[in-house]
A and B are shown apart, each in its own frame.
Chain A
Amino acid sequence: MIPSREAASTVERLVSVQNLKFTYEGGIEALRGVSLNIDRGEYIAIVGGNGSGKTTLAKNFNGLLRPTSGTVTVKGRPTAQMGVAELARIIGYAFQNPDHQLFCSTVEEEIRFGPLNLGYSENEIGTKVERAIDAMNLGHVRMSAPLSLRLGERRRVSIASVVAMDPEVFILDEPTTGLDAEESRELMERLNSLNNDGKTIILITHDMKLVAEHAKRVVVMARGRMLLDSDPRGAFSDLDLIRQSNLEPPAVTLLSHRLSDYGIPQDIISPEELVLHVMRFGGGS
């Protein structure tokens, strides 16, 4: 079930994007004016098809890319004035391909790499590494070579190495690609628990089922623009919009749309809800 979104009263604004435009060298306009705000503790999914600009947007958050025009401010400071390493303290980024990060001979060494770069003391590093290993359930492989692990474990190592840096915001690029259902579920559980601890989670994905099950807020991107910014229910009920951005709504939502003639509401985003409604329809209580 999706936890209800907490009413945000005076929550800290972590990332603020104003009319961000970004063009790659070579002339490709990836972002054509995007504005949004991200507060502490949020759980956002940025969705869109290939080329929608979602990865470009995320890379603007942690300074890997700088705005061509417009501004991105992190905790009040414009990213254009901050280095990537500096931003890495606040915003952690776990890349889509964990193999693009792993190079150490043991999992523990790998997880140490981030905090070591950030200049923490040996004690602090020790604590952070332990917490990260716990958070991602990697205790049983801590002395193994990261590159010899299964994809699911490798992905957890790469996320753990970001967790160890203790950022306030986590950006995860397609974290469940290539994972089986069990691994996927386990990973998302860990992310939820991070969110419950107060960390801000930003998922970049095109897996709508994942979004429906976990995200509290959805930003839909298409062709460099933001089409929609709302809660998942609101996002998925607009089928046309979803299709416009080259995405497919969760199967459950599609099904409920087909059954709308029978009185099933169109904003169903989980199988459990559908079952409830169908049972009611069928004459149940």
Chain B
Amino acid sequence: MNRLGVSSYSLVVSVAAILAFLLLSTGVQASVITAQGSEAPVADAGDDITIVVGDTIRFDGTGSIDDVGITNYTWNFTYEDEMQLLYGSAPEFEFLTVGTYEVTLRVTDADGHNDTDILAVVVEGNFLMKYWPFLLLGALVAVVIFQLFRSSRRKEFVSPKLVARYGVLTALTAAVTMATFVPFAPTKGYFNLGDSIVFFSALTFAWRAGGICGGFGSAAADILLGSGYFAPLTLLAKGSEGAVCGLLGRIRGGHRYAVVLGIVAGGACMVFSYFVGELLLLNVGWGAALAEAAGNTLQVAIGGTIGALLAFSVKKAYPALASE
């Protein structure tokens, strides 16, 4: 026996047993870890991106991390009504259609864990697509201005009767607008009865009076009320209202149905012009544009009724007008 009281044979066997145990247990640990797999990956599809239509976009999924390693990148989105699937950490895609696309990246690692991230791709129109309403209105305004400003070949002024009439009716349209305005959000900020004079001018003095006085008179009121930025659009909206009513409302000598037709058609021009103009030019958004359309329809209905009554009453009360 040695000093420990343990035989050397038992010592060797115990040490061997302990070593074997340690080895075996490590081996088990290792195999347990391998069987569970790595941690789940973290997907990163990159920042939201805005491009112009026609551009090619390069997706960037390289920010995704995984301890073991990502084996699969799948990009998935709906484009032109079809589901698109792209693979790889940085695939490319050409967007030919304007829109906002929600792109989902799914990464999978060697152990089958996965994660997703969402990316918004905004595809905007190119210059022409974005600005065509301005260019159109600009072209219209340019034509009007050209007509107004070129020195006429005629070398003859508009007759004094018409200068007086147009000047006065324009002033009256603006004055009535000013006298009857009520602050009210969904009609450019103020509700008014100026349309009655527009319709009156159109029905009594024909389309030129309606168009000129309606358009410029209402635009002037806009300017005077501080909403001058609306003036060009108002020129179009109320000008067309007056001109169309003047054309249609006087058929068959101003027959009742013609008057109604004129007012409805003119009113429609006004509401439509404002709606489209506000939506595309002023970019007020669908919500405000629709609210305005509703408000304007109400305004034009009331204004039209009064305008028709006016045309009728004035003709009766001031028969000297009947010679028009």
The chain B residue sitting closest to A144, CB to CB, is B319
State the interface size on chain B (CB cutoff 8 A).
Answer: 6
Bound: A187/B152 CA distance, A = 55
A105 within 8 A of B: yes
Q: Could you say which of B313, B316, B317, B320 has the most chain A C-beta atoms within 10 Å of its C-beta?
A: B317
Set of chain A residues within 8 Å of B318, measured between Cβ atoms: 145, 147-148
Tell me which residues across on chain A come within 8 A of B317, comparing CB atoms.
102-105, 145-147
Q: What 1/0 mask marks residues of chain B from 309 to 324 whose CB sits below 8 Å from any chain A CB?
A: 0000100111110000
Distance in Å from the Cβ of B147 to the closest Cβ of chain A?
A: 37
With a cutoff of 8 Å between Cβ atoms, the chain A residues found around residue B320 in the complex are 148
Q: How far is the CB of A72 from chain B (nearest CB, A)?
A: 27
Residue of A nearest to B316 (CB): A105
Complex Cα spacing A104 to B313, Å: 7
Least CB distance, B293 to chain A, in whole angstroms = 33
Interchain CA distance A148-B316 in the complex, whole Å: 10
Q: Which A60-115 residues sit within 8 Å CB-CB of chain B?
A: 102-105
Which residues from B are CB-within-8-Å of A103?
313, 317
CB distance from B75 to the nearest CB of A (A): 68
- Among B244-275, those with CB < 8 Å from A are none
A94 to B317, CA, bound (A): 20
Interface membership of chain B positions 286-317, coded 1 if the CB is closer than 8 angstroms to chain A and 0 otherwise:
00000000000000000000000000010011
Interface flags for A147-169 (1: CB within 8 Å of B; 0: not) read 11000000000000000000000
CA distance A148 to B317 in the complex (A): 8
Q: Write out the residue numbers on chain B whose beta carbons fall within 8 Å of the beta carbon of A145.
A: 316-319
A148-B320 Cα distance, complex, nearest whole Å: 8
In Å, the complex CA distance between A104 and B316 comes to 8
A147–B316 Cα gap in the complex (Å)? Answer: 9
Cα(A102)–Cα(B319), bound, Å: 14
Question: In whole angstroms, what is the CA distance A102 to B317 when docked?
Answer: 9
Inter-chain contacts of A146 with B (CB < 8 A): 317
Cβ of A104: which chain B residues have Cβ within 8 Å of it? Answer: 313, 317
| A146 CA / B88 CA spacing, docked (Å) | 89
Cα distance, A102 to B314, chains bound together (Å): 11
Q: Which residues of the partner chain B approach A148 to less than 8 Å between Cβ atoms?
A: 318-320
Residues of the A chain whose Cβ atoms lie less than 8 Å from the Cβ of B316 = 105, 145
A104 to chain B minimum Cβ distance, whole angstroms, is 7
Interface hits, A13-33 → B, CB 8 Å: none
* Interchain CA distance A139-B54 in the complex, whole Å: 83
Q: How far is the CB of A144 from chain B (nearest CB, A)?
A: 10
Q: How close is A265's CB to chain B, nearest CB, in angstroms?
A: 52
Can you name the residue of chain A whose Cβ is closest to the Cβ of B310? A103
In the assembled complex, the Cα of A253 lies from the Cα of B219 at a distance in Å of: 56
Distance (Å) between the CB of B85 and the closest chain A CB? Answer: 72
A103, B317: Cα distance in complex, Å: 6
Within 126-145 of A, Cβ neighbours of B (below 8 Å) are at 145
CB-CB < 8 A to B313: which residues of A? 103-105
Give every chain A residue within 8 A of B319 (Cβ-Cβ): 145, 148
| Whole-angstrom CA separation of A145 from B320 in the bound complex | 11
Complex Cα–Cα for A105 and B317 (A): 5
Per the bound structure, the CA–CA distance linking A147 and B321 in Å amounts to 11
Residue of B whose beta carbon sits closest to that of A146? B317
Q: Given the complex of chains A and B, what is the CA–CA distance between A26 and B208 in angstroms? A: 39
Residue of A nearest to B317 (CB): A147
**Distance (Å) between the CB of A248 and the closest chain B CB?**
36
- Assembly CA distance A145 to B316 (angstroms): 7
Contacts of A105 in B (CB 8 A): 313, 316-317
Scan A215-253; emit 1 where CB is below 8 A from any B CB, else 0.
000000000000000000000000000000000000000
| B residues with CB within 8 A of A | 313, 316-320
Binding site for B on A (CB under 8 A): 102-105, 145-148
Sample of 13 A–B contacts (CB below 8 Å): A102-B317, A103-B313, A103-B317, A104-B313, A104-B317, A105-B313, A105-B316, A105-B317, A145-B316, A145-B317, A146-B317, A147-B318, A148-B320
Enumerate the 3 nearest inter-chain pairs by beta-carbon distance, A residue then B residue, closest first: A105-B316, A147-B318, A147-B317
For the complex with contacts A103-B313, A104-B313, A145-B319, 9 further pairs of A-B residues with Cβ separation under 8 Å are A102-B317, A103-B317, A105-B313, A145-B316, A145-B317, A146-B317, A147-B318, A148-B319, A148-B320
